[in-house]
Amino acid sequence: MNKADSILKRIENILWSIEVKGDFLKAREKYMEVLGEIKELPESEEKFKLMSFCMMRIANVENALGNIEDAEEFAREALKYATKSGEKVSQGRVLLVLSSILNTKQKFEEALTYVQKAKLLFKESYKEVPEFDAIQGYGWALLLEGSILLNMGKIQKAEGAAKEALKVLEGINNIPGIINAYEVLARVYDRAGRLEEKRRTEEEIKRLKENLDGG
């Protein structure tokens, strides 16, 4: 295993063993250590991808800790490196993180612009190399688009995005994504006063979560 592969494994390990469990302070500390090592690597596309991935994770952690300005700064830096790497899926993922942060900051128009760029990148990537990551990215981009549109009061458009996301994510059996799509739809139905549809959607969310937990 070369140095870059080893670093990638370490980032993924921090993600799944620390960040996902909610220990954000420890995750940030570990990511910053790894980032220092990446900076010492010779310039290459591989280095740019690692810089982007690590900075994106730091942006997520900072966002979770409520450090929104720091999160945005790291996300914008991550985007620079993702663009340098030339990898469309990487660029799309960073754009989603940045869009999510801007959504939190209630900069909805800017957030929507970034999420639409991400959708285009995932579509282009899939045309070139039809892989799971590109389809999943497109589905999650639609989910975020639905949430942003709902925050903007564009209920009909939000419903359309959520339903399209549901179709895409059902196609690859991405259960967490499917649950998320139904959650956006439940919010849409709530805002629109369509209470029976909201009730049925919430029942489906409950069923899916029970199956996911093995219950």
Quick one: pLDDT at residue 197? 96
SS (H, E, C) the chain: CCHHHHHHHHHHHHHHHHHCCCCHHHHHHHHHHHHHHHHCCCCCHHHHHHHHHHHHHHHHHHHHCCCHHHHHHHHHHHHHHHHHHCCHHHHHHHHHHHHHHHHHCCCHHHHHHHHHHHHHHHHHHHHHCCCHHHHHHHHHHHHHHHHHHHHCCCHHHHHHHHHHHHHHHHHCCCHHHHHHHHHHHHHHHHHHCCHHHHHHHHHHHHHHHHHHCCC
- Work out whether the CA dihedral 198, 200, 204, 209 comes out positive or negative: positive
Question: What integer pLDDT is reported at residue 8 of this predicted model?
Answer: 93
pLDDT digits (tens, 9 = 90+) for 90-119: 999 999 999 999 999 999 999 999 999 999
> Please, what's the b/e burial string for 163-175 (b: 16 or more CB within 10 A of its CB; e: otherwise)?
bbbbebbeeeebe
pLDDT at res. 214 = 62
Task: Provide the whole-model pTM.
Answer: 0.89
Q: Which amino acid is at 82?
A: A
Contact 50, 38 (CB under 8 A): yes
CB atoms within 10 A of CB 14: 23
Residue 107: its pLDDT value, please?
Answer: 96
Please identify every stretch of the chain with a pLDDT value under 70, giving residue numbers as ranges: 1, 129-130, 214-215
Read off the tokens for 190: 């709530």
Rounded to whole angstroms, how far apart are CA atoms 187 and 113? 22
Residue 131 tokens read as: 């892989």
